[in-house]
């Protein structure tokens, strides 16, 4: 049992450190214990002046360090698969699993990972800049026309973002993935989803297959009446070196499978909502403005007309009130375009305060299946 407790402690601590380091800054983990632990770790680093030292070290070896994560990932997967084939593969009961399921699940990471690492995320260049501008319309909420990228010196297309690591603006930018040392965007989000799905399947199946192996040991050598449930499983795990390997892999796969599955579900939720990871931060700002009661929308007083506007995926005319002491009332964050003015006049739209998300139309959300199709089968820019 001492081995089990020690290994469980090591796995838990390492998994927690990995979670905090890699996911603590992501928007989906904001206001969670993971984000708070990351902030606390940064405070401790600042107290010991570790931040400057770390920055200097990173700046010096940046290129090598960025490749260390994907290479380390492949090495870790290879080592764990080696342990599995050495100590556990011959104990898989099902011949179908041994002949088909195990080889397929084992080989998928080696196929998907290099494709995702070296795939084009949708870099915006002089050659495709015009097509990128035309692909996604500006919604005048998250993205407004005329903003120039200070690095690329080109007007930013809607849904794009400049990546300081890659040095390019990326179409429909989602995030920069440290696991792949690559940006995730319009062209390669499908490979990112395949990468996350592959890892989730590998970890869930790994937990299942090692639990099945140990379950047969428990049934055969530690039946009911020889101790309570956890004690019997603990005895089974420490009963032989091969069972220790199975127990270690079961605990590791089980703990990490929850993270991988949750991460996959989070990105499926983003697809359902018609947003990217980058856009969730922008929508949080919109949500803050709604709570602050500073957001206004031009809308029809007729409920049926409003529903028709949303059904047709028409962009909402949204303004943010800026409070100051200027005469003439509260100014707004931007001027209306001529097209918006014509629409307001022709449809007799009225300015009212935004009360909830339902008052704003996300023009990039075309329904789950269309959103998914857009990511899996992107059109060429």
- Let me know: does 88 contact 188? Beta carbons within 8 Å: no
Question: Residue 24: pLDDT above 90?
Answer: no
Which helix (H) or strand (E) segment holds residue 182: the answer is strand 182-184
The CA R_g of the chain, rounded to the nearest whole Å, is 26
SS3 assignment, position 351: strand
Cα 299 from Cα 350, distance rounded (Å)? 5
Among positive and negative, which fits the CA dihedral 341, 343, 347, 353?
Answer: negative
* CA dist 324 → 65, 90, 293, 330, 332 (Å): 47, 74, 15, 7, 10
User: How high is the pLDDT of residue 3?
Assistant: 56
Question: Residue 109: pLDDT above 70?
Answer: yes
Cα 73 from Cα 116, distance rounded (Å)? 13
- Let me know: does 272 contact 39? Beta carbons within 8 Å: no
Per residue in 321-363, pLDDT tens? 876 555 555 688 888 888 888 888 888 888 888 888 888 889 9
Cα 136 from Cα 60, distance rounded (Å)? 38
Per-residue pLDDT band for 53 (boundaries 50, 70, 90) equals low
DSSP letters of 255-305?
A: HHHHHHHHHHHHHHHHHHHT--HHHHHHHHHHHHHHHTT-EEEEE-S-HHH
184 CB-contact burial (10 Å; exposed 0-12 / middle 13-18 / buried 19+): buried
Question: Does this model's pTM top 0.95?
Answer: no
User: How high is the pLDDT of residue 1?
Assistant: 47
In terms of Cα–Cα distance, which of 189, 198, 247 is closest to 218? 247
- How far is the first Cα of the chain from the last one, in angstroms, to the nearest whole number? 58
In terms of Cα–Cα distance, which of 188, 177, 141 is closest to 25? 177
* CA dist 134 → 78, 138, 315 (Å): 44, 9, 16
Per residue in 184-204, pLDDT tens? 999 999 999 999 999 999 999
Task: Kindly state the percentage of the chain with pLDDT values over 70.
Answer: 81
SS3 assignment, position 318: strand
Per residue in 221-279, pLDDT tens? 777 666 666 778 788 888 888 989 999 899 889 988 998 999 999 999 999 999 999 99
């Amino acid at each position: 049992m001492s081995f089990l407790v020690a290994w469980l402690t090591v796995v838990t601590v390492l998994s927690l450190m990995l979670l905090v380091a890699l996911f603590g800054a992501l928007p989906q983990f904001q206001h969670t214990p993971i984000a708070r632990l990351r902030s606390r770790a940064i405070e401790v680093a600042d107290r010991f002046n570790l931040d400057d030292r770390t920055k200097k070290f990173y700046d010096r070896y940046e290129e090598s360090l960025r490749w260390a994560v994907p290479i380390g990932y492949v090495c870790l997967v290879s080592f764990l698969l080696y342990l599995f084939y050495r100590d556990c593969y011959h104990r898989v009961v099902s011949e179908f699993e041994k002949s088909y399921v195990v080889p397929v699940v084992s080989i998928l990471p080696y196929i998907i990972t290099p494709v995702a690492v070296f795939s084009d995320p949708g870099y915006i260049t002089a050659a495709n800049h015009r097509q990128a501008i035309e692909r996604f319309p500006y919604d005048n909420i998250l993205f407004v026309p005329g903003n120039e990228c200070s690095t690329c010196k080109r007007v930013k297309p809607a849904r794009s973002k400049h990546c300081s690591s890659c040095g390019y603006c990326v179409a429909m930018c989602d995030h920069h993935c440290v696991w792949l040392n690559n940006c995730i965007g319009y062209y390669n989000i499908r490979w990112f989803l395949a990468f996350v799905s592959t890892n989730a399947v590998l970890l869930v199946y790994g937990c299942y297959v090692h639990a099945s192996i140990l379950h047969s040991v428990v049934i055969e050598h530690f039946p009911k009446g020889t101790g309570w449930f956890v004690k019997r499983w603990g005895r089974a795990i420490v009963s032989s070196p091969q069972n220790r390997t199975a127990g270690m892999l079961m605990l590791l796969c089980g703990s990490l499978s929850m993270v991988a599955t949750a991460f996959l579900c989070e990105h499926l939720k983003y697809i359902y909502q018609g947003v990217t990871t980058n856009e969730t931060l922008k929508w949080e700002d919109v949500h803050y403005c709604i709570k602050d009661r500073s957001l206004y929308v031009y809308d029809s007083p007729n409920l049926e007309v409003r529903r028709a506007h949303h059904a047709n995926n028409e962009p909402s005319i949204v303004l943010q009130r800026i409070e100051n002491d200027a005469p003439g009332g509260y100014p707004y964050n931007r001027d209306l375009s001529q097209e918006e003015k014509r629409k307001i006049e022709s449809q007799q739209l009225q300015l009212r305060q935004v009360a909830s998300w339902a008052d704003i139309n996300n023009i990039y959300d075309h329904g789950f299946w269309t959103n998914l199709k857009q990511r899996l089968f992107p059109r060429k820019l």
